[in-house]
Structure 1
């Protein structure tokens, strides 16, 4: 199969012609690392087999798109054609442009050692091996199957990084000049700071947000940096085969109940998860909210639920002011409106460009101007 022209076009799409990451992208046969993947279907997730349609396989593999490879506890490699899992994605091959972006933010030098958290199918590790060499790359994932599959497929490509099945939010084996995480965490694990060499740099994203954080290790063992202006979103780090189940019963309450408070909202209904800065600020101030949104014949409805039992429902046609129903110990829609108030009052939200301080304990602080928060 003639994959090389496709990889070359992808490299031209996701890198600048002077980038040191252009050659690694052009040299990496992504389709070998992702032979099967999941796509959304009307009745759940449907598995796609590359070998069954090679032309489509090449088109998908060399697109700058994320390919979901695991849903719930079921990897696409192990799925039957009629499997229709309904859970959440638990592993994927990140869109290549985002892998490159994360590595660029790491400012990786030729002699640097790299600790990569979130092996997945191994595509990012293939890029790193082409850029640095096998001996300078260590990759970690909590899933033994993913680790074994990535090690075998990378080996077929002549690439042999160290790949370990470990929970990298716990102890991290070894020390590194750079740590790049393609799973989201909150807070930043203290073990990452311990594993960073003096002057080392870490790059990660914060769970529940689109915040991309870079931080350099200080002499006192802390790390300081910033929230970059770029946005990035990754699956959150998990500590088992799947994420905890969603709050289905509370979601049903939010759909149907009147609630203890019924008011008229001040702003139109918004699809929160599609408004990245708004969603990030809300999750920083009120972490843990799950969102649902639907639009039917012009009526927009947003649902918010929280593990503490709080819920909210806002509904209106178009951009009209919504009727808002809320219940539980907190008023979630009011928390959202407070974020929108701040946005209107200041002209922007203070997250992007905020200073970051990560203490040796992993406690993570953001600050910009008079605003500050501990994650």
Structure 2
């Protein structure tokens, strides 16, 4: 293979789309490397800054792979880091993996002439793809981070992209009205400003915080309590949550008093809930705000669940043995997890994916599938 960026971009297009798609040309012609000159590389418990100019071949391989490249960790942007700098903390901005972007755009049912709001500027790569497909005049992109918007605007302008970029809190007032809203950040609830900015018949595509599925909803224009209707699609997706400051507030990390609570035997082996997206999502609907930790030492596995109300659970086991579980607080969190796993065994699935959804003017999402009902 030639080592030009164009050859790498075409190879990426072959992975995430096909020549008959409207996205083939945009993926082949968009120089993602110019939008992601630096990024943070995950190194177990820390992040190391990578500068593309240090090794062009490695830069092109990384940038034109179908992967997310983290560009900001906590309050630190890779553009401002020293070579081989190391930091820790949660990622706060990224260039989303191209395949997921195209999945979101497919669910948005985009069409020529549609005014599109791109929520979450990030590196600007998604904005560039949208502009190449629909024309930059139709695209407005917003982000809460002034530097991200400034850097993306300059780089996109150098590429001739004419989209409108603005600094805005996506959960607050929006700079216009739109036929489509596509969000690559997670929200909860749906911001009422989105409902207000969406034109009748307009469609939004997003994820809800902690729920790893794509929500689509079309504004009905009805005067009733529910102003948009859609469903959770069958595709999985996870995005960073919206934030109001330079970093996320700290998660609850207080270590539970292990002398408290009840001890028993779990019904199923220990599972890493954070990596079990359907379980994680269903738990988040019933117990919003849960924090999960998972540790492995040889064949020994320990999982923690901690809730802001003081509830906690710890399960430990070797291999596939049933775990010893200790839990305390107003919620029995491991019991809730085991109940979900039992339901999956009985029904062969959980009801989240494919569930119908109705959105109220205040942003609450009501869900239904079969006999299951939930509200987010």
TM-score after normalising by structure 1:
0.96
Deviation at 1:42, TM superposition (A): 5.2
Corresponding residue for 1:18? Answer: 20
Q: Look up the match of 1:281.
A: 282
- Counterpart of 2:238 (choices 208, 233, 237) is 233
Match for 2:252 among 242, 247, 251? 247
Partner in structure 2 of residue 54 of structure 1:
56
Match of 2:65 among 50, 63, 66: 63
The match for 1:155 is 157
Distance in 2, Cα, partners of 1:50 & 1:145: 20
Which secondary structure does the structure 1 equivalent of 2:207 belong to? strand
What residue is the counterpart of 2:100 in the other structure?
98
Q: CA RMSD in A?
A: 1.3
Equivalent positions of 1:272-351 (< 5 A) are 272-351=273-352
User: Given the superposition, is the C-alpha separation of residues 364 and 160 from structure 1 closer, same or farther in structure 2, using an over 3 Å criterion?
Assistant: same
1:206 equivalent among 208, 215, 223: 208
Q: Quote the residue 1:364 is aligned against.
A: 365
Deviation at 1:82, TM superposition (A): 5.1
Question: How far apart, CA to CA, are the structure 2 residues paired with 1:246 and 1:370?
Answer: 34
Alpha carbons 1:116, 1:139 under 8 Å: kept: yes
Q: Matches of 1:156 and 1:259 in 2, distance apart?
A: 60
Shift of 1:108: 0.4
> Residue by residue, what CA displacement relative to the aligned partner does 1:47-70 show, whole Å, maximum 9, x if unpaired?
000001111000000000000000
What residue is the counterpart of 1:180 in the other structure? 182
Superposed CA offset, 1:247-285 (max 9, x none): 22x2x337xx23311111111100111111111111111
Whether 1:72 aligns to 2:55 is no
Runs (5+) with no aligned partner, structure 2: none
Q: CA deviation at 1:206?
A: 1.1
- TM alignment of 1:110-189, pairs within 5 A: 110-189=112-191
Q: Distance in 1 between matches of 2:370 and 2:329?
A: 34
> Contact (CA 8 Å) 1:138, 1:163: kept in 2 or not?
yes
The one-character-per-residue Cα deviations of 1:304-344 (angstroms, maximum 9, x if unpaired) are 11111211110001111100011223221111112112212
The number of residue pairs the alignment matches comes to 371
* Superposition deviation, residue 205 in structure 1: 0.7
TM-score by length of 2: 0.96
Q: Corresponding residue for 1:224? A: 229
State the alpha-carbon separation in 1 of the partners of residues 312 and 55 from structure 2: 45
Cα distance, 1:41 vs structure 2: 2.4
- SS in structure 2 at match of 1:253: coil
**1:43·1:84 contact (CA, 8 Å) conserved in 2?**
no
User: 2:276 & 2:60 partners in 1: Cα distance?
Assistant: 32
Flag the 1:61–1:341 CA change in 2: closer, same or farther, 3 A.
Answer: same
Query: Which whole-Å deviations, capped at 9, do the CAs of 1:53-107 have from their partners, x for residues lacking one?
Result: 1110000000000000000000000012353221100000000000111011101
Structure 1: where are the runs of 5+ without partners? Answer: none
Post-superposition CA distance 1:26-48 (Å, at most 9, x none):
11000000000001225621100
For the Cα contact (< 8 Å) 2:117–2:141, is it kept in 1?
A: yes
Q: How far apart in 2 are the matches of 1:352 and 1:246?
A: 27
- 1:85 corresponds to: 87
